[in-house]
Amino acid sequence: MAEAVFRAHVATAGLDALVEVDSAGTGGWHEGDGADSRTIAVLEAAGYEQDHRARQFRSSWFARLDLVIALDARHQRDLRALAPTAQDAAKVRLLRSYDPAATAAETDVPDPYYGPLDGFEECLELVEAASPGLLDAVRDAMKEHTA
């Protein structure tokens, strides 16, 4: 869901030729599967396109990534543990840290997988709230790289 939403923000900003948006899980439980049907329904109802196949994040990817976004603290810890260097671990950030309305106690996007449809709708709201701030951070980082 976060991939589809942020990809749309990047495209709307005209940065899709410069910014790669992708996603992967910290575990391989659903590797090769498409998105959950509830995720697809919520994304489509909101006007987002998605074409996702699950895969597991690999430590070797850090070398080519500028930023790695985690949706909750557990995933952030897992991803940082995979990082080959402290510099790579510093690339891992929580999505909600880019939401100006989120408090320090509201750092996680809850996983809606085992709940009803309204959990997926809440997840979408949280992802949408953080995406503009994330886009601003990406723009700022791009300016630093070209300066």
Mean pLDDT of 93-103: 96
How many Å apart are CA 121 and CA 134, to the nearest integer? Answer: 20
Mean pLDDT in the chain? Answer: 93
**pLDDT band at 27, cuts 50/70/90?**
confident
**pLDDT band at 58, cuts 50/70/90?**
very high
Q: How many residues does the chain have?
A: 147
Determine the pLDDT at residue 52.
Answer: 78
Mean pLDDT of 9-22: 96
Residue appearing with tokens 């940065």: 15
Determine the pLDDT at residue 146.
Answer: 76
| 0.85 exceeded by pTM | yes
**pLDDT band at 89, cuts 50/70/90?**
very high
Cβ atoms 93, 18 nearer than 8 A: no
- What structural domains and CATH numbers belong to the chain? 2-146 (3.40.50.2300)
How many Å apart are CA 88 and CA 76, to the nearest integer? Answer: 12
